[in-house]
C-alpha cells in the first residue's frame, strides 16, 4: 500500500513539474508557473477525486471526445464557440475524472480531463478563448475556470474578440429573446428580489413579466448565502449571470448553483 501511494505522489509531482515547465516555456516565471500548476492540480482533484478512465483520444467534436476503446466522453463544464473544441487532444492519452458512471447512452460526463503532461484540457480551452464556462451544480472547480475566462475575456482572446460573444446586457430584451434555448452570459443590475411559491425571483427590471429574471429555488437560498450571495441584499448590485436561457414571460435563467452569479463590484 505504501509503495502504491509513493508512486502516485511521484507521478503527481512529475505532472505538476511538467505543467510548470510548459508554462515557463511560454514566458511565465518558473515560480508563478509552479504555483499555477500546483493550484490546477488541486482544482482538478476537487472536481472529482477519482479517475474513471484513461485512454487515447481518437476523435473530438465540440465538447465530446471519443477514446480508443470507444468510450464517449463529454465535458458539461464548457460551451464551445466552434466545432474544433478539443481537436488538439486527438492522439493524446488523457485521464478522465468523473463523479458518476456513464449514462444510459454510454456517455461519460467528465468533471475534469488531464493529459499525460499534466495539461488540464478544460482550463486550456477556456484560457485560449475557445470556450466559456458552463456551471455544473455541485462542481467544486468552477472558480479556477471562471478566473481563466475573465482573463481571456479581458484580453479579447478567441471567441471574446467578436463583440457578438460578449455578455448580453440584461436590458437588451430583443437579443435575449433570440437566445432562447441557448447557454447565455448576461450582465446587469438587480432591481428587486422577491419570493413566491417556492421560488426567489431576482429581477432586472420593473416589468417582471417582460424583463430579464433569475430564478432560484427557495430551498437553495441558504446555499447561495453561504457562498456570499444573500439574495435579498443584492438589490442594486451589478452581476454577471450564466445559464440556459428560457422565456417565462420575459427572458429568464434558472440559477441552480451559486457560481452562476458573479458579483461585478466590490462590497459596498
Domain count, the chain: 2
The whole model's pTM is what?
A: 0.80
Which grid cell sits at 172?
A: 437588451
Q: Would you say residue 4 lies in a domain?
A: no
Same domain as 191, residue 58: no
Q: Is residue 1 part of a domain?
A: no
> In residues, how long is the chain?
268
CA dihedral (216, 217, 221, 224) positive or negative: negative
SS3 of 83, please?
Answer: coil
Instruction: Identify the CA nearest to 206 among candidates 188, 225, 233.
Output: 188
Determine whether 149 is exposed, middle or buried from the number of CB atoms within 10 Å of its CB (0-12, 13-18, 19+). Answer: buried
Q: Is residue 26 part of a domain?
A: yes
Spatial CB neighbours of 39, under 8 Å, sequence gap ≥ 6: 144
pLDDT at residue 85, as a whole number? 76
Give the chain's end-to-end CA distance (angstroms, integer): 53
Q: How far apart are CA 152 and CA 130, in angstroms?
A: 9
Domain boundaries, position 124: 9-160
Question: Is position 268 within any domain?
Answer: no
Domain boundary among 96, 125, 160: 160
In three-state secondary structure terms, 80 is strand
Helix 2-25 to helix 30-47 angle (10° resolution) is 130
- The CATH number given to whatever domain includes residue 101 is 2.40.50.90
Spatial contact of 251 and 239, defined as CB atoms under 8 Å apart: no
Which three three-digit cell numbers place residue 76? Answer: 458539461
Domain-terminating residue out of 133, 160, 187: 160
Q: What's the confidence (pLDDT) of residue 35? A: 53
Which pLDDT value is given to residue 108? Answer: 92
Same domain flag for 139 and 178: no
Domain annotation covers residue 136: yes
Look at residue 2 and tell me if it is in a domain.
Answer: no
Mean pLDDT for each consecutive 10-residue tract of the chain (268 residues)? 37 46 47 57 77 92 90 89 79 90 87 89 91 84 90 94 93 96 96 92 90 96 94 96 95 96 78
Q: Does 154 share its domain with 121?
A: yes
Structural domain contains residue 139: yes
Amino acid at each position: 500500500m505504501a509503495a502504491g501511494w509513493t508512486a502516485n505522489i511521484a507521478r503527481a509531482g512529475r505532472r505538476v513539474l511538467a505543467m510548470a515547465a510548459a508554462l515557463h516555456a511560454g514566458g511565465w516565471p518558473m515560480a508563478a508557473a509552479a504555483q499555477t500548476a500546483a493550484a490546477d492540480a488541486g482544482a482538478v482533484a476537487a472536481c472529482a477525486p477519482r479517475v474513471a478512465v484513461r485512454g487515447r483520444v481518437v476523435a473530438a467534436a465540440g465538447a465530446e471526445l471519443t477514446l480508443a476503446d470507444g468510450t464517449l466522453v463529454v465535458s458539461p463544464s464548457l460551451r464551445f464557440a466552434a466545432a474544433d473544441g478539443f481537436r488538439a487532444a486527438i492522439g493524446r492519452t488523457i485521464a478522465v475524472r468523473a463523479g458518476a458512471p456513464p449514462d444510459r447512452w454510454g456517455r461519460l460526463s467528465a468533471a475534469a480531463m488531464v493529459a499525460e503532461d499534466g495539461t488540464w484540457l478544460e482550463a486550456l480551452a477556456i484560457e485560449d478563448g475557445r470556450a466559456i464556462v458552463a456551471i455544473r451544480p455541485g462542481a467544486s472547480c468552477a472558480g479556477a475556470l471562471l478566473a481563466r475566462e475573465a482573463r481571456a475575456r479581458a484580453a479579447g482572446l478567441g471567441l471574446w474578440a467578436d463583440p457578438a460573444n460578449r455578455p448580453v446586457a440584461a436590458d437588451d430584451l430583443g437579443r435575449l429573446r433570440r437566445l432562447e434555448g441557448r447557454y447565455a452570459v448576461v450582465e446587469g443590475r438587480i432591481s428587486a428580489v422577491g419570493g413566491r411559491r417556492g421560488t426567489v425571483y431576482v429581477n432586472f427590471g420593473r416589468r417582471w413579466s417582460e424583463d430579464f429574471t433569475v430564478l432560484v429555488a427557495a430551498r437553495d437560498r441558504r446555499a447561495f448565502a453561504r457562498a456570499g450571495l444573500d439574495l435579498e441584499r443584492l438589490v442594486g448590485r451589478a452581476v454577471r449571470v450564466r445559464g440556459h436561457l428560457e422565456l417565462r414571460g420575459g427572458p429568464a435563467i434558472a440559477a441552480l448553483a451559486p457560481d452562476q452569479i458573479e458579483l461585478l463590484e466590490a462590497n459596498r
